[in-house]
Amino acid sequence: MEYLLKSKSSAIPCLIEADPNSNLYMIRSADTSGQGFNTKEELIQWVEENWNPEDFEDPEELKQAIRRISAD
């Protein structure tokens, strides 16, 4: 699953990618830096510690992405 989230601070969307079949978990932040993770739990923990839903144009999109990733 791939989620593009519009940040209030960047024209380039943030990205969350979670693909359990390929064991691929990564993010791209508003500053275009990226980070990879070994598990969905590590990805979720990083997002919860580093991103605030209010930093996005639609805060609910981030919350929904985390819920969907958690459910997989």
HEC string for 19-46: ECCCCEEEEECCCCCEEEECCHHHHHHH
**Geometric angle at alpha carbon 29, from 62 and 15, rounded to 5°:** 55
Residue range of the domain that includes 66: 2-71
- Looking at the structure of the chain, the number of domains it has is 1
pLDDT of residue 44: 97
pLDDT of residue 50: 96
pLDDT of residue 11: 93
Average pLDDT per block of 10 residues along the chain, 72 residues long: 95 95 95 95 97 96 96 88
pLDDT of residue 57: 96
Nearest to 40 by CA among 27, 53, 57: 27
29 is written with which tokens?
A: 């932040």
